[in-house]
Amino acid sequence: MTKRLLIVLVATAMGGLLLTSVAAEKGKSSVDVSKLPPPADKSGVTYETDIKPMFEKSCVGCHGAKKAKGKLRLDSLPAVLKGGEDGKVIEAGKSADSVLVQNVAHLGDPDDYMPPPKNKDGITPLTPEQIGLIRAWIDQGAH
C-alpha cells in the first residue's frame, strides 16, 4: 500500500468518526431542564382521561391519523409510546428527558417547538399547567 493511499484511508476514517461524533452529540439534549414547569401534583394521571383530550385539541391536527408529521402520532397511547421517525418522544418515568416535554415547553431547538409558534391554525402553546400534567403522566409511567 502506498503512503498516499494510507493517508487517504486514515483521513477518511477520521472524517467518518468525526461525523459520527457530531451526530451523536446532536442527538444529546442540550436543553436547560431547569426551565421546565414542574410536574403536576395530580396522581393517577392517565393518557385516556387527562392527556388525550389535550393532545386532540393541540396536537392531533398534525400528529394524527390524517396527518402524521415526522411519522409521529399522538392520537393513541400505543402511537405515543412508539414515537416517530426520530425515535421515542417520551421516556417513561423521566419527563425532563422526554423530547415531547422539551418540545411542548418550547425549549431547545426552535425548529422542534410544538406547536410551532407561527402555525397556520393558530394553535397556542400549551400552558405550564398542561406541560406539568404531561410531566406527571410520564413520571407516573405514561399509562
Spell out the domain ranges in the chain: 39-139
Closest C-alpha to 114, from 122, 134, 143, 105: 105
pLDDT in tens, 43-92: 999 999 999 999 999 999 999 999 999 999 999 999 999 999 999 999 99
Contact 18, 114 (CB under 8 A): no
Could you report the per-residue pLDDT of 89-139, keeping only the tens digit for each? Answer: 999 999 999 999 999 999 999 999 999 998 999 999 999 999 999 999 999
Cα separation, 50 vs 97, whole angstroms: 21
Contacts of 128 (CB under 8 A, 6+ apart): 37
Strands (E), 26-65: none
Q: Of 63, 81, 61, 60, whose CA–CA distance to 71 is shortest?
A: 63
Answering whether pTM is above 0.75, one says yes
